[in-house]
Amino acid sequence: MKRPERGIAAAFGVTVLGAVMAAASYVAGADRLLLGLGFALGFAGLAAGFVLWAATLLPQGPYVEEREPMVSPPGEREALEAEYDRPAGRLPRRMLALALGTFGLAGVFPVRSLIVHGPSPSVALATTAWRDGVRLVDQDGRPVRAADVTPGTMVTAFPEGHLDTGDSAAVVLRVDPAKLRLPAGRERWTVDGVVAFSKLCTHAGCPVGQYVAPAQQLVCPCHQSVFDVLRGAEPMSGPAARSLPQLPLRLDGDGVLVAAGDFPEPVGAGYWRPM
Amino acid sequence: MIARMIARAGLRWMDRRLRAAALTREALAKVFPDHWSFMLGEIALYSFVTLVLTGVFLSLFFDPSTAETIYGGSYGPLRGSSVSAAYASAIELSFDIRGGLLFRQVHHWSALIFLAAIAIHACRIFFTGAFRTPREINWLVGVTLLLTSLANGFIGYSLLDDLLSGSGLRIGYSTFLSIPIVGTWVAYLVFGGEFPGDRVIPRFFSLHILLLPALIAGLIGAHMAILVRQKHSQFPGPGRNDHNVVGSKMWPTYAFRSLGLLSAVLAVSFGLGALVQVNPVWVWGPFSPSAGTTPAQPDWFLGWVEGLLRLFPAVEFRVLGYLVPSPFLPGVALPVLMVVALYAWPWLDRLVTGDRERHQVLDRVRDRPGRTAAGVWAVSLVVLLTFAASDDLVARGLSVPVQDYVVALRVVVLVVPVICGAVAYVLARALRGHPGSRLTTMEPRQIAGVLGLRRPEARRPPAPPGPRAERPAVPSEDAPDVVDSGSRHGG
Ligand code: FES
């Protein structure tokens, strides 16, 4: 009889130790490891104490509890049905239904405040900050010159004045112009082998952050879609199904790259839109 | 002595106002079955307690705002850089507030444990048929709890505005966008505009600390009220039938055991929070819309959706001339289908078995080979999909091209769960005819019998669906010699 009692008491003694340890570590500023271990020790002591107590000193059953059927006797249900009646007043009842219906509908209107700030989705999603003549700048706002884009490197460019927009980032790469196989009509979108594509993956919108220079492929880190730069960033594998939209480029007088317009189609993840 | 006198006086005071003595006695005498698997739900409950306690502490320091600030705290590598207020406050919480990092890590660990406990608890309910009449309501409440908790887990780690969770948020946004017709509006409703925007973090903060926890607490309350009203189900065993519950009384034995469990959950959460780093947002860096991280995996409980997104082929199609983008099938349609199947399971099960009886005694896993096979199929599918969420890491580790690895995984994900389900079916059938045998002591001839390789001399007829109902009810006085077949504490 004595032994379990001593064991349980010892377990709670551990909790006292844990408490002292937690308090001391807090005061001493050792608040990551030791504070946590102090708490853990305290709780572990409590756990051991309670479980030992339940297993040794407390009544062990098994006890049997009868279960009443989870169905009311038919008489009771019939009585309820008989007493439960519609309140008198046919016209007020109908009017109340109408009132609650319209009032509930009116309550839905404020939900719109949650949705729209600025242009509607179909407009906002279809356009970015790129326009004809907007200069390409890097993340620090410095203009990107064609000469800055060397073979094998990837430059992330933004429209000048719009460094923080989520949808305008573009990757700028230099490839051998002779090997480029862009879709028809885009012959004049490049500057001497320098091409630019939207940085947002057409699968779920992650930034396509890896450039495998030898194979001239862009790889998305999220679900490993691979895009073939030479073929207009056409998807080669992975879950993306559409090419990265291409940004038409030209040079301004100072050798700085500028956009010749916005992306021809919406960037990033797809959505319900006519195609 | 004094404590006892105060307790007595308090009780009397209450009773003179509420007449609560009889009710309290009844409550304290509630019988809980003595099987470890009945404590899984309690682990979830106690993790929720841990989450609320640590969460309240964190909410007092966290600043849910995307306003740009210059970080000036004590974490050197970030000092002087321009970050969002949310991210800065998370870093400050981790480095400059005493106990802050500990509570952050305990909070994160308890969330992981919370969801794991719910998932395993749901498996127990599934495999033992505890969802059958009259417990369908609690199955629906439980599935809703699972989904609400999944959502709150995702929202919670997305609040910190770090680069890793930012990728997850963006994928979530794109998945909403992919819904036909209403997708753009749904995404705007949730995110307050085009991603990333300033509104999503304050909005998610409200959801994470107010709306969803209140919903979860309410659902837990309902879950337990229904449980008390219907009383526990129990495993079959001598003296147990559809008209009784056999086990330990609430007071004192079960209450002490359960307090022990609460303390153990807290001990484990604090131990992990102290020893094992989780979500070091200062390593991930602040969110920036044009930067990505690699590798990027979500927390474990969303791994299956991520796995689906990674494995599903690039399928986009047009409906009425409108685009239905590639995340729709794996990110919306399949998860919705899985959730609907989960909600509908009690009725699907009934459709297959034709069993409309009311049940208080659980099935053993072997009793229903078909259900067991379906469950094993689903669980192994989800496990494999979760594993597929790390395809880039594994492919790199194996030095194989990730594309080839994905193709192999597609085959594995389709084939292996079917094999697992079939094996489970055969094993359940082999065990069903031999109530005394266990998986570990099973003889080869039992399996041979199921596969039809031997004349079925050893095969007794399968147990009828409701054999316990025919057993006469044992009056409570006659059952002192009940032997518990499950694990019992002490013994
Ligand atoms: S977001 Fe790029 S592959 Fe999914």
ipTM score of complex: 0.93
- Whether residue A230 sits in one domain with residue A208: yes
- Whether residue A135 sits in one domain with residue A24: no
| Host H or E run for residue A132 | strand A132-137
- Does residue A264 lie in a domain region? no
pLDDT number for residue B483: 39
| A-to-B residue pairs, Cβ atoms closer than 8 angstroms | 300
- Cα of B392 from ligand 1 centre, angstroms: 12
A59 contact residues in B (CB cutoff 8 A): 249, 252-253
Let me know: does B140 contact B131? Beta carbons within 8 Å.
no
Q: Count the domains in chain A.
A: 2
- Whether residue A219 sits in one domain with residue A106: no
- Does residue A269 lie in a domain region? no
Let me know: does B419 contact B403? Beta carbons within 8 Å.
no
Nearest CA to ligand 1 atom 3: A223
- Helix crossing, B136-158 with B212-230: angle to 10°? 160
Phi, psi of A212 (to 5 degrees): -90, 95
Nearest CA to ligand 1 atom 1: A204
pLDDT, tens digit (0-9, with 9 covering 90-100), for B156-177? 999 999 999 999 999 999 999 9
Residue of A nearest to B239 (CA): A64
- Whether residue A128 sits in one domain with residue A158: yes
- Whether residue A182 sits in one domain with residue A80: no
- Does residue A35 lie in a domain region? yes
Mean pLDDT of chain B, nearest integer: 90
- Cα of A207 from ligand 1 centre, angstroms: 8
Provide the whole-model pTM. Answer: 0.92
Residues touching ligand 1 (Cβ under 6 Å) are: A 201, 203-206, 220, 222-223, 225, 238-240
Nearest alpha-carbon partner for A134 in A232, A229, A244, A248: A248
Rounded CA-CA distance B23/B16 in Å is 13
Q: How confident is the model at residue B455 (pLDDT cuts 50, 70, 90)?
A: low
Tokens 């339940």, residue located: A54
Let me know: does A201 contact A267? Beta carbons within 8 Å.
no
pLDDT number for residue B44: 98
- Does residue A8 lie in a domain region? yes
**Helix, strand, coil share (%) of chain B residues, nearest 5:** 65, 5, 30
- Does residue A274 lie in a domain region? no
DSSP A164-184: T-SS--EEEEE--GGG--PPT
Contacts for A222-225 with beta carbons within 8 Å, 24 or more apart? A222/B167, A222/B171, A222/B292, A222/B296, A223/B309, A223/B310, A224/B310, A224/B391, A224/B392, A224/B402, A224/B403, A224/B406, A225/A201, A225/B314
Phi, psi of B401 (to 5 degrees): -60, 135
Instruction: Extract the tokens encoding B50.
Output: 């841990």
What value, to the nearest 5°, has the Cα angle with vertex A57 and ends A54 and A60? 65
Residues ≥6 apart with Cβ < 8 Å to B490: A54, A55, A56, A60
Fold exhibited by the domain B29-234+248-361 = Cytochrome Bc1 Complex; Chain C (1.20.810)
pLDDT, tens digit (0-9, with 9 covering 90-100), for B268-321? 999 999 999 999 999 999 998 888 777 788 999 999 999 999 999 999 999 999
Comparing A180-189, B20-29, B415-424, B449-458, the range with the smallest average pLDDT is B449-458
Instruction: Extract the tokens encoding B254.
Output: 């079960």
- Whether residue A210 sits in one domain with residue A147: yes
- Whether residue A45 sits in one domain with residue A10: yes
CATH number at residue A253: 2.102.10.10
pLDDT of B478 > 70? The answer is: no
A271 contact residues in B (CB cutoff 8 A): 177-178, 183-184, 187, 323, 325
Please report, rounded to a whole number, the percentage of residues in chain B having pLDDT higher than 70.
Answer: 92
Q: Enumerate the domain spans of chain B.
A: 29-234+248-361, 364-453
Rounded CA-CA distance A206/B16 in Å is 65
Instruction: Extract the tokens encoding B244.
Output: 């009784």
Comparing A111-120, A121-130, B100-109, B255-264, the range with the smallest average pLDDT is A111-120
- Does residue A275 lie in a domain region? no
Please report, rounded to a whole number, the percentage of residues in chain B having pLDDT higher than 90.
Answer: 82
The A234-237 sheet, strands edge to edge: A210-212, A217-219, A226-228, A234-237
pLDDT, tens digit (0-9, with 9 covering 90-100), for B25-74? 999 999 999 999 999 999 999 999 999 999 999 999 999 999 999 998 88
What value, to the nearest 5°, has the Cα angle with vertex B378 and ends B372 and B384? 130
- Whether residue A251 sits in one domain with residue A129: yes
Phi, psi of A66 (to 5 degrees): -75, 150
Task: Tell me the nearest-neighbour CA distance from B246 into chain A, angstroms.
Answer: 4
| Amino acid in position A263 | F
Count CB-CB contacts under 10 A for residue B98: 14
- Whether residue A249 sits in one domain with residue A129: yes
- Whether residue A58 sits in one domain with residue A14: yes
| Amino acid in position A29 | G
Query: Average pLDDT, stretch B88-108?
Result: 95
- Whether residue A147 sits in one domain with residue A99: no
pLDDT, tens digit (0-9, with 9 covering 90-100), for B226-252? 999 999 999 999 999 999 999 999 999
Last residue of a domain, one of A117, A142, A171: A117
C-alpha A263, offset from chain centre = 25
Q: Which B residues, 159 through 218, put their C-beta within 8 Å of a C-beta on chain A? A: 167, 170-171, 173-175, 177-185, 187-189, 192-197, 199, 203
Residues in chain A, pLDDT under 70:
1
Nearest alpha-carbon partner for B75 in B227, B284, B240, B345: B284
- Does residue A69 lie in a domain region? yes
Q: How confident is the model at residue B454 (pLDDT cuts 50, 70, 90)?
A: low
Instruction: Extract the tokens encoding B48.
Output: 């929720």
- Whether residue A255 sits in one domain with residue A145: yes
Phi, psi of B161 (to 5 degrees): 60, 35
Domain of residue A90: give its range.
Answer: 3-117
pLDDT number for residue B489: 40
A65 contact residues in B (CB cutoff 8 A): 29-31, 231, 244-246, 476
